[in-house]
Amino acid sequence: MSKVVIVGAGVNGVTAAIELKKRGHQVILIDPGPLPHPLAASTDISKAVRAAYGADNDYTELAERSIKLWRKWNEEFGIELYHEVGVMFVRRREMEPGDFEYESFKMLQKRGLKVERMNSAQVWRRFPAWNPELFRDGILEVEAGYAESGRSVAALIKRAKSLGVELLERHKFEALDDVNGRITTVILSEVEESRGESLKVTSRGPSTPLGMTRIAGDRVVMTVGAWTPYLLPFTKKFFRASGQPVFHLKPRQPELFTHERFPVFGADITATGYYGFPLNRDGIVKIANHGPGREMSPESSQRTVTSEDEANLRNFLSWAFPDLADAQIVYTRVCMYCETHDGNFWIAQDPERQGLVIAAGDCGHGFKFAPVLGEIIADAVEEKSNPILEKFRWRPEVRAGSGTDVARFHGENESTTRLSE
C-alpha cells in the first residue's frame, strides 16, 4: 500500500481520503481549515441532488446510484443529510425535444425513475407559490431533493478521522516538489492560528524554506476546487474559476415555501439560471443562479454579491414568485465553480507529472455525487479502470465552449425577462 497526500478537504478531498484509507493506503489530508472551510464550494446549507441530466446517460446513472447511497448515508450517519423532497424543472413554454427538461423526462422514464409531467392545472395547484399562468410545463423528479452540504462535509471529516486519515489543518499548499521528475512532495506554509493552539509541524527538510513544511508521499492528489488554476498555474489553460451569486431569503409567508408545496426547483433554468430550495429548518429559502458567473480568484476582494446580482434576483422574483419578491435577504455569498471547457469533471493523472492526480472541474454540479466521488478519485489514483474516468480524463485538447452542464444558463437572451413583457 502507498502513502497518499491529498490537498484540499472539500467534498472531493474528504471522500477520496475515506475511500483510499478504506483501501489500505496511508492518507494525509491537508487544508488550512477551519473545516468545512467557509470559502469552499462544498460549504453551504444545500445542494441539489437530481438525476435529471437531459440525454446524458453517464451523469443520470451516476446520480441514480448516488441518490441510493445518500439514503444509506442518512441511516449510517444517523442524521438527515439528504432530504428527498423532489426536484422540479419547469418552463414557460411547452417542453419540446432537445430541451433539458424534455430530454430529462424521456431519460428518467426510460430508466424507470419516478417523474411527473407538470403540464396540468391540477398538478400546479399543489405549488401555490408558483405562477401557473407563466409556467406551463416541466417535470417533477420525485426521488430527488437536496443535501445539506456543509453538514455532510463535517460528518465526512469526522468519519475520515475515525478511520485514521491524518488530517493536517492550518497548513496551506504552496508548491509541488518533484524528485527525478516525479511529484512526491508538497510544500506547505503554516497558517497563523489566532486561537493560540500549538501547531503540529511534521517534517522540515534541509531545503525547506523557513516556516514551510514538506510532506512527502507516493501520490499527491490535488482537490482544491476553484483554487486549482491559481495554485497550479499550468492548469489555467483548462480550468477557470467563476463566482456565482447565492441568496438566503426570509419569506413573509413561510408556509408557502415548505418542501411539500415548494420542492427544489429550476425555473426555466437554461433560460434564466435561477434555481432554489424549500424552506429549511432555519426558515431560509435559498435561491442562486447557475449562470455564466464572474471569473475571479476564490480569495478575490471582488468575491461579493453585487447590487446588479440583487436587482436581477428581485426582477426574477417579481414575476416568478410574487410572494417572495419583497422577502428579506438575510445572507449572500459568492460561491466558486471550477470550470472546465466542456462542463465535465476533471479526475485524472497528469501525464507530464508522474505521481500527480487532479480531481477538480466541478462546474457547479459535483456535490450530488459525493457518495461515489471517493471511489472514482481512488480508481484514478490507483490507475484502476473505471468507465466514467474516460469522461473525466486529462483532455487539454478540449477547447472553450465545447459544452457545459445541460441544466446551465449561458447568459443574457431575450427570454431572461418575463415572457409576456
Residues found near ligand FAD in the complex (CB under 6 A): 7-13, 30-32, 37, 40-42, 47-48, 172-173, 223-227, 231, 244, 246, 288, 335-337, 360, 362, 364-368
Shortest distance, position 380 Cβ to ligand FAD, whole Å: 14
- Closest contact distance (angstroms) between CB of 250 and ligand FAD is 19
- The residue (of 14 and 271) whose beta carbon lies closer to ligand FAD is 14
When the beta carbons of 142 and 231 are compared against ligand FAD, the nearer one is: 231
Q: How far is the CB of 146 from ligand FAD (least distance, A)?
A: 7
d(CA 375, CA 19): 6
* Nearer residue to ligand FAD within complex by CB, 102 or 367: 367
In the complex with ligand FAD, the residue whose CB is nearer, 124 or 369, is 369
Q: Which helix (H) or strand (E) holds 20?
A: helix 11-22
Question: Measured from the CB atom, is 7 or 381 closer to ligand FAD?
Answer: 7
Q: How far is the CB of 172 from ligand FAD (least distance, A)?
A: 4
Q: How far apart are CB 84 and ligand FAD at their closest, in Å?
A: 15
CB nearer ligand FAD, residue 172 or residue 408: 172
By three-state DSSP, how is residue 357 classified?
strand
Continuous segment of H or E residues that includes residue 73: helix 57-77
Comparing every residue's Cβ against ligand FAD, the nearest one is 10
276: which 3 cell numbers?
Answer: 432554489
The length of the chain in residues reads: 421
CA distances from 14 to 141, 219, 302, 312 (A): 29, 16, 28, 35
- Minimum CB separation of residue 215 from ligand FAD in Å reads 11
Strand partners, 348: 358
Shortest distance, CB of residue 118 to ligand FAD, whole angstroms?
Answer: 20
**Amino acid letter, residue 53:** Y
Facing residues of 356 across strands?
220
For residue 169, the cross-strand partners are: 31
| DSSP category for residue 93 | S
For residues 124 and 135, the answer to whether their CB atoms sit within 8 Å is yes
**Calpha distance 343→53 (Å, rounded):** 12
Cis peptide before 34 (omega within 30 of 0): yes
Nearer to ligand FAD, 239 or 367 (CB): 367
**Gap between the Cα atoms of 298 and 228, Å rounded:** 10
